[in-house]
Structure 1
Amino acid sequence: MEKLLIVDGMALLFRHYFATAMNHHFMHNSDGVPTNGVQGFIRHVASAIKDSEADHVIVTWDMGATTFRNTISADYKAHRPAPPVELNPQFEMVQRLSEELGFFNIGVRNYEADDVIGTIAKQLEGEYRITVISGDRDLLQLLDDRVEIWLIKKGFTEYNKYDVNRFREEYGIEPPQLIDVKAFMGDTSDGYPGVKGIGEKTALKFIQTYGSVDGTLQHKSQLPKGQQNKIDTFYDDLMISCKLAAIHTTVPLDLEHIRRAMPYTADIEKMCAICDSHELKVASSYLMKL
């Protein structure tokens, strides 16, 4: 079975921007434009293609600051600070370079990259062995027999790798039930509350015991009085969090076009030439060693 690599492009861009920006190492080109995040992205994707032995490559992107989740909750990701000025010019640059390098790029307005990843993974999992690279643990809800999630750690080759068996052993639930866990515990980084006072350990115990948010609510009388009160007090937040925690897996996509466009064969010499033409010498030097 052929192997499909799906990359969360923004996750890699942000990760490698901040990895070097903390030391003020922005790698400006001759026009004075920073390229540190772009060069890290290129190096990481090239390494991932090699490590995953990918036959097909898709890079997904967020398209704009708002999605359908902002209609569910105005607070969703609203607290996040504006990107640093050195990063701003790299958003357009990285997508343009990603296309020049021959990766299939996709983003859909009103949806997050996670939703595009989820839709592709769920609709193509019977045809390919799929590896998803991201920094977002929410994607673990997509795990299946033919879908692995590689969570980025540091550098270009270190991952916290999850398959469905590891997830079951570690969490004691099925991957889709992670949605219910996140609904109870909330997510401060994404700006949705869950049930105030219910943390990950308690939320996980609820789902291990009762199977879902609905199952927990049906057996609420069996819970300690304090937990019952918290659920009653923050019931509306719980219902909203259920919607926000779930990755949308029915994004309207042209799957036939995706199948035709995603095959990829690495041509290191060509990739190096493209990097050199854009003064991405750190990325070019790295590619030559692969």
Structure 2
Amino acid sequence: MTAKQHTIMLVDGMALLFRGFFATAFRGNFMKTSNGIPTNGVYQFMRYFLDAADKFEPTHVVCCWDMGSKTFRTDLYDGYKANRSNPPEELIPQFDLVKEVVEAFDIPNIGLENYEADDCIGTLARQYAKHHDVLILTGDQDILQLVDDGIRVAIMRKGIGNYDIFKQDTFVGQKGIHPRQIVDLKGLMGDTSDNYPGVKGIGQKTALKLIQEYETIDQILDNMDKLPNGVRKKIRENMDMLHLSRKLAEIRCDISVECMLDDALFHYDKQMAEDKLADLEFDHLMKLLH
């Protein structure tokens, strides 16, 4: 096997921004510029990003974003993410602001209407992993389904600089199933944070046991006669939602996004980056850059 040439870090922009915002907003003290623009989410986003760049030393970086709440998943199922409240008003101006900061570091911002950041990450990860090492930076467990040969996932934990790293050869030991089986697992148990039910009455424990025993939803359905009566009844009564939930859980890896590697080279103009940080009065971050 030939050595991989580069390490490409794909950043789940929304995951870092939301995490950064809520990590610093719990006391209601929002960092603001002297013009009154709230910046706490952007500031913490950059702290997370700079720590990860320092730790993982990527040669290339791409940042992926959701492009609004309407996607092909909301077309498939009205209730998808319908449990989520509107973002806090202090966060709204930071959506554009964070992209400006990312741009000042000469990092491409990637997103596609009708799809989620996860789908952009999945598609780019598959493209890049053919010849390079890919590291996905996120706080979102859904993305673990993308772990593969050449694709690692760093899940951020509480605080800064704490990560759970998932890679292909140790994944089963950590999670008890293979990365691709996560989609079927979530088809069975649903996902409360994304608001789809899976099979009503089947929780994580039962779903995991079924996947470990039968490997896929299709094989579970082929062996219905071997299942306990209660489980069989639940699956039969929720068959449509089982298939729909599986579809909602699966990250698309074939959408029409691309980013040329030359555009993603992690090599920024220090002056431009510092000017942007100075605009936002991020004095501490400027010290970190030095």
Deviation for aligned residue 1:177: 1.1
Unaligned runs of 5+ in 2: none
User: SS at the partner of 1:175?
Assistant: coil
Residue from 265, 268, 276 that aligns with 2:267: 265
Query: Compared with structure 1, are the counterparts of its residues 153 and 129 closer, same or farther at alpha carbon in structure 2 (3 Å cutoff)?
Result: same
Of 165, 168, 172, which aligns to 2:172?
Answer: 168
The normalised TM-score by structure 1 is 0.95
C-alpha separation in 2, matches of 1:38 and 1:97: 8
Partner residue of 2:186? 182
The aligned counterpart of 1:126 is: 130
How far does residue 268 in structure 1 lie from its aligned partner after superposition?
5.2
Cα-to-partner distance string for 1:230-281 (whole Å, 9 max, x where unaligned): 1111111101101001000001023xx4223111125556533320123222
The 1-side partners of 2:94 and 2:241 are apart by: 36
Given residue 287 of structure 1, which amino acid in structure 2 is its aligned partner?
Answer: L
- Contact 2:104–2:272 (8 Å) recurs in 1: no
2:276 aligned with 1:274: yes
Paired letter, 1:276: A
8 A contact 1:101–1:274 mirrored in 2: no
Is the CA contact (8 Å cut-off) linking 2:189 and 2:204 kept in structure 1? yes
Deviations 1:75-103, CA, capped at 9 Å, x for gaps: 00111000011111101111111111211
Q: 2 CA distance for matches of 1:93 and 1:173?
A: 39
> Is 1:19 aligned to residue 23 of structure 2?
yes
- Counterpart position of 2:288: 286
1:222 counterpart residue number: 226
Partner of 1:52: 56
Measured after TM superposition, the shift of residue 203 of structure 1 is 0.9
The answer to whether the 8 Å contact 1:139/1:149 transfers is yes
Q: Relative to structure 2, which stretch is displaced further, 170-179 or 185-194? A: 170-179
SS at match of 1:228: helix
Q: Secondary structure at the match of 1:97?
A: helix
2:99 to 95, 99, 103: 95
Q: Counterpart amino acid of 2:276?
A: I
Select the residue among 207, 214, 221 that pairs with 1:210: 214
1:144 matched residue in structure 2: 148
Change (3 A) 1:267 1:46: farther
What is the TM-score when the length of structure 2 is the normalising length? 0.95
- Bigger shift: 265-274 or 128-137? 265-274
Please say if residues 40 and 283 of structure 1, whose CA atoms lie closer than 8 Å, have aligned partners that are also in contact.
no
| 1:199 and 2:203 aligned | yes
Q: Distance in 2 between matches of 1:85 and 1:93?
A: 14
Q: Judge conservation of contact 1:61–1:107 (CA < 8 Å) in 2.
A: yes
Say if 2:146 and 2:180, in contact at 8 Å, map to a contact too: yes
- Contact kept in structure 1, 2:189 and 2:207, CA below 8 Å: yes
How many angstroms apart in 2 are the aligned matches of 1:234 and 1:245? 16
Q: Distance in 1 between matches of 2:8 and 2:221?
A: 39
1:115·1:251 contact (CA, 8 Å) conserved in 2?
A: yes
Moved more, 263-272 or 40-49: 263-272
SS at match of 2:260: helix
Extract unaligned runs of 5+ from structure 1: none
Residue equivalent to 1:244: 248
* Count of aligned pairs: 286
1:10 partnered with 2:20:
no
